[in-house]
Structure 1
Amino acid sequence: MTMDVLRIYVGGTWIAPSGDATMPITDPATEERIGTVALASPADVDHAVNAATEAFRSFGTWSKAERLALLRRIRALTAERIKDLAQAMSREMGAPITMAREMQAEAGVGHADGFIEALEAQEESWTLSNGDTLLREPIGPAGLITPWNWPINQIALKVLPALATGCPAILKPSEYTPLSAAIYAEILHEAGVPPGAFALINGTGPVVGDALARHPGLAMVSFTGSTRAGISVSKSAADSVKRVTLELGGKSPNLVFADCGPDLETRVRASVAECFLNSGQSCDAPTRLVVERACYDDVVEIARMAAEETRIGDPRAEGDHIGPLFDRLQWDRVQERIAQGIAEGARLVAGGPGRPEGINRGWYARPTIFADVRNDMTIAREEIFGPVLSILAACDEEDAIAIANDTLYGLAAYIQTGDPERARRVAARLRAGAVHVNGGGLGCGTPFGGYKASGNGREGGTMGLEDYQEVKSLHFG
């Protein structure tokens, strides 16, 4: 597999970008340069938008049957290239190969299944009781900006619904993870996406991302990334009054109640593992463990043991270990947050600053647990994006809910309890787009998105399709 990505994909073919800017592709496990990515310019965005506008004339009229057939071809080809996608993500962002294959790459297949099912079930025209007819139509060419932490998951969640609804898609993946994006572009080409209906443009956020957000020829822009960057995208898009959907950051609470009883250790260990998954680099990671005082000391001890038993290793090795952070910049940020936690008086019970013992290269961080955290501390307020868990004490259920909701974010929340009625009662009061009870996962086809500063819109399933559609009303005399 080549490690260089020196071309962009526009108009159904691979071409050189208009400029000569490049940046290195690095392996976070070794800190070595493994390739080069060529960076596009606003002129390349113009080229892609022109091609998308032309393609929309015909692609926007494709029947549901034609679009479903395209999705099924994409799904089949994605399944064939799972190993290629996994290897690419393992090299470019450090995901352990087992997890890269079974979760990161497999998401491309799972989301295809979800969108196929949603499109099959969706009514594209229907009549109201007053006799008026409503039609769903594609909104038009869409700019899609995706992050480095779950590359194919986020690409599939944007590209697939765009194509499913007849919208040409212009993708700007993270410039740090271009290898997996290039493979996905090859999949779409082989599946028969018509020329102009998909473009892949590598580039930086301030240059290519901003050009997409500002471009008057795009009907919408969908962005996943930090809240800070999402605000910038919204401002850039405002002048052209395009639709903006955002999936942003999180500081997800995980409420642990003493009524877990004998399952307490299982639930806490699973919670720590969920926080550390992908080396903590997930926007919905349960990074605030809000624990009922009656079981607080037990939970802290279980979490400490779980952190110390977490295995760290080479992303190329099979297994359930965690890998490095994706680059030096992220490692430095995590180290800064750990230092802040110590300085603000949180009790360090596991991990801490620096690399794990015995590792002297690669951007590996120590799985870290802080106890006695207050909700006004930096480590409880700001997204860390590393394997760092903060444990906070709550007096009772009411206090736990108040602490959980005391955040700018609202992407996800988690509950650990042995009482199903409590689970429903608490979930109803948590201000978050998804609530996971006792380890329950989010299935493909279920809408994903958040409240407050975690964004707007939903990705996945029927609601994910609707973000790319307009509704027209017909009135017959």
Structure 2
Amino acid sequence: MNANLNSIRAKLEIRPGRLFIGGQWLDWDGARFDQINPNDNQIIGTFAEAGQRGVDLAVAAARHAFDDGPWPTLPAQDRKRILQPIIERIYELEAELATLQTLDNGMPYSFSRHSRASGKSCADILDHHAGWCDKITGETFPRHSSSSNLQYLTYRDPVGVVGAILAWNVPLNMFAIKVGPALASGCTVVLKPSEYTNLAVTRLVEIFAESDLPPGVVNFVTGGAETGAALAGHPGVDKVTFTGSAAVGERIVSVSGANMKRLSLELGGKSAGIVFPEARSVASAATTMMGLCSTFLSGQVCTTPSRALVHRSIFDEFVHHASEQVKQVRFGDPFDPATTSAPIISRAQVERIRNLIDSGIEQGARLAFGGEECDDIPGGGNWIAPALFLDVDPGMRIAREEFFGPVLCAIPFDSEEEAIRLANDSEYGLAGCIFTTDIAQGMRVARSIRTGAIGINGYASVANAPMGGVKRSGLGREGGWASIDAFTEIKTVAINLDG
């Protein structure tokens, strides 16, 4: 048992989880569930399983706030003035939020506090979207025909009640990416965090609850699959925004047709990182790609490049530097500055990753290093040693299915055309990266790969640029104007100037 974790838990005085509906905190009288800390598999808190009843109450509150409340029609300046103190409060509490996020999913505190997954980043994202409040505009159109004197113009109306279902890996950022543009656009929200990570999001909702936001604009339910399904399929919800697995995304698509819900879905990925001989540094490319799989969230990020496509002439050099990188990995107490990596989120996910690793070995791939469970870490927890597969056939499961864990598959190629073909040979298309100093080559390859985002010699998602996938990686985009577009509907108004 980790004494430091228990000490931090005690100081925070974690209370039984409640629901926030219609501006009020509700002590839930229904079913509850335990949240387990992945660092030591100890219970960290108990939370309400809202289920259909809780979701019905939350959607009714959001529906009332949208249909009858002031938020959708509030002047843009007033909406922004309400949001700005909330953002400033999040900046003030960023250290506490980082602590809660680390308790949630085991992310090393150094990353939770200082990376793009931090409380500061959460506030930055909300601040960016709040800036759109008074910049959401329509268009006017020139007279089209002499047969009538009609003036056409468009407005952007908020889409309505939004069901926001968050992933567990970066809950602070997930909250901001979904709630920020929804509120800036004039929507109301019913928010559900992952059942694995409720602490940080609960604290964010408490900050919103203490603000001047009208009742029912933000509502908060907790729970597992039953609650998520109730929210995704609810007839009172106009839009669902979800980040998570492709399998769950497909189920959301299947139930959304009943009332033609609008959807924003960021789903899985099997991203490719392509390393050409023209790369500035093979060592840097190998360290970057292996590091994304082995440190921070240990590969539990949908944009992580889990397929390394490496030119045959530099393949051995790449493998050498990848093996050197993992020597720097340190597991353990997430509040210890020496810890580099997060545990796997659950025992079920450990079993899934191990099953995929075993399938790779059975199908003939060679495990160069790693892949074993690490059961000697003080405090226990869910740990898998970072792994690199060689001799990988593109048809193997390990080359096609998402690990969402610390595993990289290295595949050699001989030509640019082959690299493009291998990168596109996937049912996913979320992200990717290219390492080359030949900018013409980089642009040529980037344009040829079917993916929602790709970086040349570096990549990171930011609040003011769109992010999302193609193929099985999702629908829609999040970030910048694309987010506002996703939470608004275009209304066309025609005015007869002759009558």
Same fold (TM over 0.5): yes
Distance in 2 between residues matched to 1:59 and 1:352, nearest whole Å: 51
Distance in 1 between residues matched to 2:380 and 2:443, nearest whole Å: 46
Give the equivalent residue in structure 1 for 2:123. Answer: 109
2:241 maps to 1:211: no
> Which amino acid in the other structure matches residue 178 of structure 2?
K
Give the equivalent residue in structure 2 for 1:129. Answer: 142
Question: Unaligned regions of 5+ residues in structure 2, if any?
Answer: 1-11, 144-150
Q: Which string of whole-angstrom CA distances, capped at 9 and with x for unpartnered residues, describes residues 377-408 of structure 1?
A: 11110011111111011111110010001000
Secondary structure, counterpart of 1:66 in structure 2: helix
The answer to whether the 8 A contact 2:101-2:107 is kept is yes
The match for 1:155 among 166, 170, 175 is 175
Give the equivalent residue in structure 2 for 1:275. Answer: 293
Distance in 2 between residues matched to 1:379 and 1:211, nearest whole Å: 33
Deviation of residue 371 (structure 1)?
Answer: 1.5
The match for 1:398 among 390, 407, 417 is 417
Deviation of residue 123 (structure 1)?
Answer: 3.8
Secondary structure, counterpart of 2:490 in structure 1: strand
The match for 1:196 among 203, 212, 216 is 216
Distance in 2 between residues matched to 1:444 and 1:191, nearest whole Å: 23
Give the equivalent residue in structure 1 for 2:282. Answer: 264
The match for 2:41 among 25, 31, 50 is 31
Give the equivalent residue in structure 2 for 1:295. Answer: 314
Distance in 2 between residues matched to 1:42 and 1:252, nearest whole Å: 36
The answer to whether the 8 A contact 1:247-1:454 is kept is yes
Secondary structure, counterpart of 1:60 in structure 2: helix
Give the equivalent residue in structure 1 for 2:62. Answer: 52
The answer to whether the 8 A contact 1:307-1:350 is kept is no
Change beyond 3 A, Cα 1:4–1:176: farther
Q: Which string of whole-angstrom CA distances, capped at 9 and with x for unpartnered residues, describes residues 249-295 of structure 1?
A: 0000000001115x221222122212333111001111100011111
Secondary structure, counterpart of 1:345 in structure 2: coil
Aligned residues: 473
Secondary structure, counterpart of 2:303 in structure 1: coil
> Which amino acid in the other structure matches residue 128 of structure 2?
G
In the TM superposition, 1:344-355 aligns within 5 A as 344-355=363-374
Deviation of residue 149 (structure 1)?
Answer: 1.1
Deviation of residue 356 (structure 1)?
Answer: 6.5
Stretch of structure 1 that moved more, 40-49 or 445-454: 40-49
> Which amino acid in the other structure matches residue 129 of structure 1?
P
The match for 1:98 among 97, 110, 113 is 110
2:379 maps to 1:367: no
Give the equivalent residue in structure 2 for 1:181. Answer: 201
Deviation of residue 357 (structure 1)?
Answer: 5.8
Secondary structure, counterpart of 2:495 in structure 1: coil
The answer to whether the 8 A contact 1:210-1:236 is kept is no
Give the equivalent residue in structure 2 for 1:451. Answer: 470
The answer to whether the 8 A contact 1:54-1:196 is kept is yes
The match for 2:22 among 11, 30, 39 is 11
Give the equivalent residue in structure 2 for 1:84. Answer: 96
Change beyond 3 A, Cα 1:236–1:136: same
User: What TM-score comes out, normalization by structure 1 length?
Assistant: 0.96
Question: Unaligned regions of 5+ residues in structure 1, if any?
Answer: none
Give the equivalent residue in structure 1 for 2:3. Answer: none
Distance in 1 between residues matched to 2:402 and 2:15, nearest whole Å: 32
Deviation of residue 214 (structure 1)?
Answer: 1.8
Change beyond 3 A, Cα 1:316–1:178: same
Deviation of residue 463 (structure 1)?
Answer: 0.6
The match for 1:334 among 344, 350, 353 is 353
2:489 maps to 1:470: yes
Give the equivalent residue in structure 2 for 1:250. Answer: 269
> Which amino acid in the other structure matches residue 122 of structure 2?
G
Secondary structure, counterpart of 1:474 in structure 2: strand
Change beyond 3 A, Cα 1:243–1:317: same
Write out the 4+ residue segments of structure 1 that deviate beyond 6 Å after TM superposition: none
The match for 1:235 among 251, 254, 265 is 254
Distance in 2 between residues matched to 1:252 and 1:69, nearest whole Å: 40
Distance in 2 between residues matched to 1:260 and 1:97, nearest whole Å: 32
Deviation of residue 85 (structure 1)?
Answer: 1.3
The answer to whether the 8 A contact 1:5-1:178 is kept is no
The answer to whether the 8 A contact 2:331-2:377 is kept is no
In the TM superposition, 1:311-326 aligns within 5 A as 311-319=330-338, 321-326=340-345
What's the C-alpha RMSD, in Å, of the aligned pairs? 1.6
